[in-house]
Amino acid sequence: MHYRPDFLIVGMERSGTHWVAALLDNHPDIACFPTLPFYNEIGEQRVGEMHFFNTLASLEGGDERKFVRPFSDFAVKYNKVFSDLVHFKDELPKTEVYRIFQERYGEICDMQRGDKKIVGEATPAYVFHLDFIDSLYPEIKKLCILRDPKDKIVSWHFNMLRKGRKEDAVIDREFAIGYLEERIIPEYQALLAYQGPVHCLTYEALDEYTYGVVGDMVRYLGMPISPKILAYMIEEASFEKQTARDSHSAGRGRGEENVKSGFRKGVVGDWKNHLSEDLADEVDRMALDYRKKIVERFDIRNKYEQE
């Protein structure tokens, strides 16, 4: 039997995709992965994202700004669940390679599904491969979460500190504008270029109007929802519950920082503590036109204020 995912969380990076995945995974009929980091044999933290489509898409060639991963990653990464299939790349037509990898990916998704009705997977880089995803899974449902670019820059800064790729605690213009131009704006461009439907939400609305936003996600996926189910999902996916499951974050409160942990406090407007006013204004100016177009294109209205 050819299993498949029922939905994908396709982006965006440093915007709360793990929160969305954890929320959905705590619905009685919905499985979603990954929801927590894990630690490898030498204590390095890994997120566990599959990167299935942006690695498989390496066979398509094309723009390096799509954050394609090399096909060879299948041999050594992702817990090596695809490693025994890599040799088919040099032995079979591309369409047949895709079919074989889809079968394995479907088996993984079905394992994650367990006894639940639907299953989804989250990898933020998928936003760059929406048409490719449709070519393999036509009309698959997609969710995408957006976040204030200034807070994304701050989150990326702490991620780089955690990984030891950045030492300076100050976020200067080169770092901020570099991330904006190299990742954030290309994400916007990729989403706007896609002509299909995507259920888009914002981190800010999810933070302030959690019940309404989560309820809309569940309804979009066609699953039942009730006040009791909503309350359970939100409680189990809370920052406190998630950090309690993360050994580097155990006992940490929402406002406390731990550079070793992949979980951050996720406070809306945290950029005010880390970016200068001039730099924040520059980021807003550069991102404004894209964000306006996305709000219009995907009808991201803050309807919850009127409820």
| Residue 48 belongs to some domain of the structure | yes
| Structural domain includes residue 2 | no
Residue 21: which of 190, 236, 240 has the closest Cα? 236
Note whether residue 237 is domain-resident.
yes
Closest residue by Cα to residue 55 from 46, 41, 68: 68
Is residue 156 situated within a structural domain? yes
Q: Residue 260 sits in which domain range?
A: 7-306
pLDDT of residue 141: 98
pLDDT at 35: 85
How many of the other CB atoms lie within 10 Å of CB of 237? 22
Contact 45, 163 (CB under 8 A): no
In a domain, 206, yes or no: yes
Q: What is the mean pLDDT of residues 151-174?
A: 93
Q: How many domains does the chain have?
A: 1
Please indicate whether residue 168 or residue 38 has the higher confidence score (pLDDT).
168
Residue 1: inside a domain:
no
Residue 128 lies in a domain: yes
Mean residue pLDDT across the chain: 90
pLDDT value of residue 254: 41
Q: What is the pLDDT of residue 251?
A: 40
Please report which confidence band the pLDDT of residue 95 belongs to, taking 50, 70 and 90 as the band edges: very high
Asked if the model's pLDDT at residue 249 lies above 70, the reply is: no
Determine, yes or no, domain membership for 179. yes
At 196, which amino acid appears? Answer: G
pLDDT digits (tens, 9 = 90+) for 53-73: 999 999 998 777 789 999 999
> For residue range 36-52, what is the model confidence (pLDDT) as tens digits?
765 655 555 566 899 99
Q: pTM score, two decimals?
A: 0.91
User: 2 exposed, middle or buried (CB, 10 Å; 0-12, 13-18, 19+)?
Assistant: exposed
Average pLDDT over residues 10-22: 96
User: What percent of the chain is predicted at pLDDT more than 90?
Assistant: 77
Backbone angles phi, psi at 32, to 5 degrees: -150, 140
CB-count burial class (<10 Å; 0-12, 13-18, 19+) for 107: middle
pLDDT the model gives residue 307: 47
Is 208's pLDDT higher than 90? yes
Q: Give the whole-number percent of the chain exceeding pLDDT 70.
A: 87
CATH (domain of 177): 3.40.50.300
Mean pLDDT score, 205-219: 96
pLDDT in tens, 101-144: 999 999 999 999 999 999 999 999 999 999 999 999 999 999 99
